[in-house]
Amino acid sequence: DAGITQSPRHKVTETGTPVTLRCHQTENHRYMYWYRQDPGHGLRLIHYSYGVKDTDKGEVSDGYSVSRSKTEDFLLTLESATSSQTSVYFCAISESGQGATEAFFGQGTRLTVV
Amino acid sequence: KNQVEQSPQSLIILEGKNCTLQCNYTVSPFSNLRWYKQDTGRGPVSLTIMTFSENTKSNGRYTATLDADTKQSSLHITASQLSDSASYICVVSEKTSYDKVIFGPGTSLSVIP
């Protein structure tokens, strides 16, 4: 999977608890993305980063925050998990913007909020 | 509003048969269109990319076509194999915003023996 590692791969958490998902890359790509995938929906962008400490919101950013302190790591935090955030989360990387260069995806993290 | 629609939502075919998946988009101004394959439990993997000037591109048994005038694309799979069972996702990018792309909902293909 093009040098992308997501952790954890599976997580069950309780409503109201904070959760952090990690994406680690070994490709030195500038752009990193967090998506969520739900039945009946295409992949939806949560947040993305275009460099260290440079991030921007996607279409479904409410309830999520991100941080990128190093090129290789992009963290997604659910500040107070809700059942509507039960989903499969994918990290993606690309050399430049995803519209211009190919994106490579991690294997996903299945998060269940009970 | 920029949208990407795919049809059919799901498809079941016999091994060895051909099939065609459709993608319609309203994204403007158009930059490029990718088809991704997503196996169950894995992230999507790019199959092809097509720009405005390209109307056909092949990758092995996968052939994508693009009609930029009607804003339609198709993915044709020849001589299907069991390993083709997956979700196929159409992704379109807008010329004014290379940071983000628009994903279709995908077509779920099942190839049965």
d(CA B86, CA A53): 36
Q: Does the structure show a pLDDT above 70 at A1? A: no
B45-51 and B30-38 beta bridge pairing:
antiparallel
Written as one string, the DSSP assignment of B17-53 is --EEEEEEE--SSEEEEEEEEE-TTS--EEEEEEETT
Q: What is the dihedral of CA A95, A101, A102, A108, to 10 degrees?
A: 50
Mean pLDDT (chain A, rounded)? 94
d(CA B29, CA B11): 31
**In this structure, what token pair is assigned to residue A33?**
């993305």
Q: Which has the minimum average pLDDT: A41-45, B7-11, B17-21, B42-46?
A: A41-45
Q: Does the structure show a pLDDT above 70 at A77? A: yes
Q: What is the pLDDT of residue A87?
A: 97
Name the band, by pLDDT with cuts 50, 70 and 90, for residue A2. Answer: low
- B43 contacts A107? CB cut-off 8 A: yes
Q: What is the pLDDT of residues B20-64, one digit of tens each?
A: 999 999 988 888 999 999 999 999 999 999 988 889 999 999 999
Which chain A residues are Cβ-neighbours of B100 within 8 angstroms?
45, 48, 58, 97-99
Closest CA to A19 of A68, A63, A71, A57: A63
- B98 contacts A99? CB cut-off 8 A: yes
- B104 contacts A40? CB cut-off 8 A: no
Q: What is the pLDDT of residue B2?
A: 82
Q: What is the pLDDT of residues B70-109, one digit of tens each?
A: 999 999 999 999 999 999 999 999 887 777 789 999 999 9
Taking one residue from A and the other from B, the number of pairs with CB-CB distance under 8 angstroms is 64
Query: In percent, how much of chain A has pLDDT > 70?
Result: 98
Closest CA to A5 of A63, A73, A94: A73
